Amino acid sequence: MNLFELTRALVDIESTTNHEKNVGDYLFAHLNALAARFDGRIERIAAEPQRDNIFARWGEPVVTLSTHMDTVPPFFASREDGEFIWGRGSCDAKGIIAAMIAAAEKLLAAGKRSLGLLFVVGEERNSAGARAAAATPRGSRFLINGEPTENRLALGSKGALRYEITTRGKLAHSAYPELGYSAIHTLLDILNDIRGITLPADALLGRSTLNIGTMEGGRAPNVVADLAKAEIMFRTVGDPAKIRKAVTAAAAGRAEAVEVFNTPAMQLAKFDGLPTTVVAFTTDIPSFEGTWGQPFLIGPGSIHFAHTAEERIPKKELSEAVDIYARMAAQLLATGGGGA
């Protein structure tokens, strides 16, 4: 199966977060064959019930190539034209999985060993797979993490701080709103205050941002709402203490604001011969906590198409990524560093 066929086969397996089992089983079988050809080993690393990371190694791993198996919803299957492979996960990150497997096969055919491939669950929600892998390291000294960076090495990535905000009201007939109070109205007031928070900036990473991602609540148009909820996410560029304090102040006495996820902003190493960029998204790298080695962040495809109805990956970048991953791994194996 060639690079493009493998990408499409992976895209065509629905694996939205919490539903990675089928793609994990597929990768286990596919990598089992590669392990058999080149005297390797493959294992499952449990993250949560029915959710396993897939890890293959050839010798004791010095360099590990890693990305995630899960995707955001909704699922839609692959298609292909002369320039792109389309479909959910094509660039984020199933095309990257295929490129990493192809790079490993290229290195193994050239006699290289001390390699690992680690594909994890849960990156799109809470990095459950990376956190499980961090608790069970395998000795790797370098981690090449794949996300869509248009094949440029990311020198930094923003962090993430996510809250669930819940407000409670009192049910009443909407013709007599004075007999109750609306959880939705309260939530809107709180979110308006949160939108007014002055967000910090960083010279490398730029300004922190806020997204109000989901809102729900109420019973019917003619009922004063007794419950409302919102999920919000900040993309952070440094210490989130001031943001936390501001959210707490906005919610005080009016709502329950629960912090459900936090991962820090990162500044990352250079690597000789690779163009560079800075990205505003968050990755699994902080959740690995350095336990799989010094991280590098690079991958084919544009983040601007990830999570969209137009998700796609250029075939040219996909092919180039195979050579980039193979060259990076070979240099790290030979010299023990990226040289920059």
CB 95 within 8 A of CB 314: no
Query: At 290, which amino acid appears?
Result: G
What distance in Å separates the CA atoms of residue 45 and residue 111, rounded to the nearest whole number? 27
Q: Half-sphere exposure of residue 50, counting CA atoms within 13 Å on the CB side?
A: 7
CB 99 within 8 A of CB 298: no
CB 145 within 8 A of CB 267: no
**What SS3 state is found at 5?**
helix
Annotated active-site residue 178? The verdict is no
Strands 63-68 and 142-145: parallel
What distance in Å separates the CA atoms of residue 160 and residue 236, rounded to the nearest whole number? 6
Strands 209-217 and 294-297: unpaired
Residue of 20, 123, 147, 311 marked active site: 123
Tell me which residues are annotated as active site: 123
